[in-house]
């Protein structure tokens, strides 16, 4: 069975609502130039999720959030529950992004709770894993990714796992202009799939594994051509509609 091809844009803390709506509309406008086989997802800040859902209405572009709370509801000032995100019409939520692990102390313990909230509200998690430069240079990248998967993904039921997207994002390649080579990406994507196979057997063949880290129109095709790379999680280049769409042409 062919795996889903996905290009997801993580807008991070960029765009005010009017800019976000303009960007989403530009993606919708250019979408027909890219193969229908590509599933596009845009992940704006919480503040304009609902406006972006409205802006992409009638197209096949899906909307996701960049995080969700560990709890269902209650006295958690400043938090956004998965139910609130789902109620806006979002289908996805990015969880475990390296910036959240690094700057906001996200751990496997908190991520297990967030994953449970996402599934309880029918959101598909885009679960991020990846090593930092020191870990890569010490040759620990396989072990780091394995632990990030075992500690969180291995707790999922088969039904939940069948509705999961994984993003491999080497921290040293995020926003740095440095990209993993297509061979490096394939090597670790194949390894991640092997780890998933240990727990979920044949279901692992269906799990989309995206590459993220300075992916752009000029390098997407080479990376996406690799067998175990099923698309990209895109940061900087997702802020320019033509670049984001051109990445989709990399398939
Ligand atoms: C990201 O942070 O998810 C990312 C891939 O960023 P960039 O494309 O800017 O490296």
Domain coordinates in residue numbering, the chain: 5-248
CA of 75 to the centre of ligand 1 (A): 32
Q: Are 114 and 71 in contact (CB under 8 A)?
A: no
Q: What are the tens digits of pLDDT across the range 4-14?
A: 999 999 999 99
CA distance 85 to 126: 14
Separation of 34 CA from ligand 1 center, angstroms? 21
| Residue 230 half-sphere exposure toward CB, CA atoms < 13 A | 25
- Residue 40 has a pLDDT of 98
What distance in Å separates the CA atoms of residue 216 and residue 230, rounded to the nearest whole number?
A: 15
Query: Is 169 a residue of the active site?
Result: yes
Q: How many CA atoms lie within 13 A of 54 on its CB side?
A: 9
State the residue for tokens 């390296």.
98
What's the confidence (pLDDT) of residue 214? 93
CATH homologous superfamily of 5-248 equals Aldolase class I (3.20.20.70)
- The rounded mean pLDDT for the chain is 97
Regarding pTM above 0.95, the answer is: yes
Pocket probe mutation, ligand 1, options 12, 45, 219, 220, max atoms within 8 Å of Cβ: 12
Sign of CA pseudo-dihedral 138, 141, 142, 147? positive
Of 126, 105, 104, give the one whose Cα is nearest residue 115.
126
Ligand 1 atom with the smallest distance to the CA of 169 is 5
Picking from 231, 76, 100, the residue whose alpha carbon sits closest to that of residue 166 is 231
Q: How far is CA 132 from CA 31, 99, 106, 149, 174, in A?
A: 34, 11, 15, 16, 10
pLDDT at 1: 67
Q: CB under 8 Å, gap of 24 or more: what pairs does 11-15 form? A: 11/42, 11/43, 11/44, 11/45, 11/66, 11/238, 11/239, 12/45, 12/66, 12/99, 12/235, 13/45, 14/45, 14/239, 15/44, 15/45, 15/48, 15/239
Q: Rg of the chain over CA atoms, in angstroms?
A: 17
Three-state DSSP class for 123?
Answer: coil
Using left for φ > 0, alpha for ψ between -120 and 50, and beta otherwise, residue 26 falls in alpha
* Catalytic residue check, 97: yes
Residues of the chain with pLDDT under 50: none
What pLDDT, in 10s, does the model give residues 140-162? 999 999 999 999 999 999 999 99
Q: Among residues 99, 24, 113, 108, which one has the least CA distance to residue 66?
A: 99
Residue nearest to atom 6 of ligand 1 (CA): 235
């Amino acid at each position: 069975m062919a795996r889903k091809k996905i290009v997801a844009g993580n807008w991070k803390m960029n765009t005010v609502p009017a800019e976000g709506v303009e960007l989403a509309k530009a993606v919708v406008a250019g979408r027909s130039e890219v193969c229908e086989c590509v599933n596009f997802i845009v992940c704006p800040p919480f503040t304009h999720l609902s406006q972006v859902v409205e802006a992409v209405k009638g197209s096949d572009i899906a909307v996701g959030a960049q995080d969700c709370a560990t709890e269902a509801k209650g006295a958690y000032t400043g938090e956004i529950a998965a139910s609130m995100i789902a109620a806006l019409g979002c289908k996805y939520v990015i969880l475990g992004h390296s910036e959240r692990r690094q700057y906001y102390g996200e751990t496997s313990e908190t991520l297990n709770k967030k994953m449970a909230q996402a599934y309880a509200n029918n959101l598909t998690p885009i679960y991020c894993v990846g090593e930092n430069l020191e870990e890569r240079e010490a040759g620990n990248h396989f072990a780091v990714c394995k632990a990030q998967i075992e500690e969180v993904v291995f707790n999922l039921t088969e039904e939940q796992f069948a509705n999961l997207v994984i993003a491999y994002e080497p921290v040293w390649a995020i926003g740095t202009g440095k990209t993993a080579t297509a061979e490096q990406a394939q090597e670790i994507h194949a390894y991640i799939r092997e780890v998933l196979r240990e727990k979920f057997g044949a279901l692992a063949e269906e799990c989309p594994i995206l590459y993220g880290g300075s992916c752009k129109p000029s390098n997407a095709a080479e990376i996406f051509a690799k067998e175990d790379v099923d698309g990209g999680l895109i940061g900087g280049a997702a802020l320019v509609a033509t670049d984001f769409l051109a990445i989709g042409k990399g398939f």
